Amino acid sequence: MNDRVKQHLEVIKENAVDIISEEAIVSKLENSFKTNQPLKLKIGFDPTSRDIHLGHTVLLRKLRKLQNLGHQVYFIIGDFTAKIGDPSGKTALRPVLNDEEIKDNASTYIDQASKILDKNKTEIIYNSIWYKDMVAADFLSLLSSYTVARILERDDFSQRIKENKPLTLLEIIYPLIQGYDSYKLSADIEFGGTDQKFNLIVGRHLQQVYGQIPQAIITMPILVGLDGKNKMSKSLNNYIGVFECPKDMFGKLMSISDEIMWEYFKFFSDQNIDEAKNMHPKQAKISLAQELVSFFHSQELAQQEREEFERVFSKGKIPEEILLYEINESPIDLIDVLFSAKTVSSKNEARRLISQGAVSYPNVNSSIFIVVKESKVEIPEQGVVFKIGKKRFLKVVFK
């Protein structure tokens, strides 16, 4: 194995979980160099929501490194597969999206992915292109290429059957629909999260059925969301979107636990992680947040957010720009106000935060915060700023 192959292989394998197979990747790299043709690297996302988040960028950042080495990325927007909904890791039916919702969600994906990928080495493909002209005979041929028994070997499918939960025929054929993309592209390597392993293997199988050299597979770890427990997901509201404003991005990164911070360092930072571990955890986290805001926005905005964060949360001051909510009369029901102002996701959350002593306001002429003990609150003529939890503020004033 020559040094050039070793260099590219090292980038491909970095932080990978499943590699199928290293021998195949070496062979593809050697052929790529021999023919002077870049590898076809496949990545796909179904536009089931408008946001690409940091969890997706674990894969995108790896692909950018491979683009820097000369390879080509084929970015599949699954506007057809989104109509089915990827069942991977799901314990229940996914809601069916209509064409308008899919189109609206997909409209943002190119700009978001371009935050990371090199546009000149990225080809955007909507996978509906394969299917709009497909005749019934071709589709039936595709369905006949895989057995029901093998499909039902999936843990998530077998679990749903065991628990007597619905499993539709559309979900069962989803891996074939996704795998067909690999055949149409003649993909060399497909990348996905560990929850995508089965779908990626089906893609290999279909390529063999249709007489192609099967793609290699690289799976990457699933990023833990802000809650520190579950997969980063919009549906769980534990995500950081790549288009989030600098303030929200910085604040959310500062909210992650010290334990999962090091996972984020591993996937998103160019800093030496051993050196970062010698720092105080809070300072390491600030450094990470500044680095990521710099990457997605600018160094200037990242520095501003760092200074604002340290001013507010290290020195106990109130931020200069906060959400404003106008009222007509006092007293107010703070539970209703917090919910109406969208500083909490539900009235139950507002009620819980108050009962836990997590809502407070500053004492006059003092940096000391007074804890709110009841939901009914008198508002002074000049208004008042409420601190909700550690990082949310709301100023309530009269109209």
* Domain residue limits at 351: 323-398
Given a cut of 70, whether residue 86 has pLDDT beyond it is: no
- Asked whether residue 45 falls in the same domain as residue 94, the answer is yes
Phi then psi dihedrals of residue 153, to 5 deg: -70, -20
Given a cut of 70, whether residue 250 has pLDDT beyond it is: yes
Given a cut of 60, whether residue 89 has pLDDT beyond it is: no
CB 182 within 8 A of CB 207: yes
- Asked whether residue 193 falls in the same domain as residue 272, the answer is no
Task: Give the span between the Cα atoms of 329 and 361, in whole angstroms.
Answer: 19
Among 297, 314, 331, where does a domain finish?
314
Residue ranges with strand state E in 255-350: 323-327, 332-333
Q: Which two tokens stand for residue 313?
A: 């949360």
- Asked whether residue 288 falls in the same domain as residue 339, the answer is no
Task: Give the span between the Cα atoms of 172 and 27, in whole angstroms.
Answer: 33
Among 220, 237, 266, where does a domain finish?
220
- Asked whether residue 304 falls in the same domain as residue 341, the answer is no
In the chain, the number of structural domains is: 3
Structural domain contains residue 240? no
Structural domain contains residue 98? yes
- Asked whether residue 15 falls in the same domain as residue 162, the answer is yes
- Asked whether residue 279 falls in the same domain as residue 341, the answer is no
21-25, 156-160, 297-301, 367-371 — which is least confidently predicted?
A: 367-371
- Asked whether residue 13 falls in the same domain as residue 113, the answer is yes
The pLDDT of 378-385, averaged and rounded, is 82
Tens digits of per-residue pLDDT, 24-71? 999 999 999 999 999 999 999 888 777 889 999 999 999 999 999 999
Which has the closest alpha carbon to 180: 81, 38, 48? 81
pLDDT band at 365 (very low <50, low <70, confident <90, very high): very low
- Asked whether residue 151 falls in the same domain as residue 173, the answer is yes
pLDDT of residue 137: 87
pLDDT band at 356 (very low <50, low <70, confident <90, very high): confident
Tens digits of per-residue pLDDT, 101-113? 888 888 888 889 9
Structural domain contains residue 234? no
Which has the closest alpha carbon to 301: 292, 310, 288? 292
Given a cut of 90, whether residue 100 has pLDDT beyond it is: no
Question: What CATH number has the domain bearing residue 92?
Answer: 3.40.50.620
Neighbours of 173 (CB within 10 A): 16
pLDDT band at 314 (very low <50, low <70, confident <90, very high): low
pLDDT of residue 172: 84
Compare 160 and 28 and report the one with higher pLDDT. 28
Task: Give the span between the Cα atoms of 117 and 62, in whole angstroms.
Answer: 9
pLDDT of residue 366: 46
Question: What CATH number has the domain bearing residue 332?
Answer: 3.10.290.10
Given a cut of 80, whether residue 88 has pLDDT beyond it is: no
Q: Which two tokens stand for residue 160?
A: 């749903």
Tens digits of per-residue pLDDT, 201-233? 999 999 999 999 999 999 999 999 888 888 888
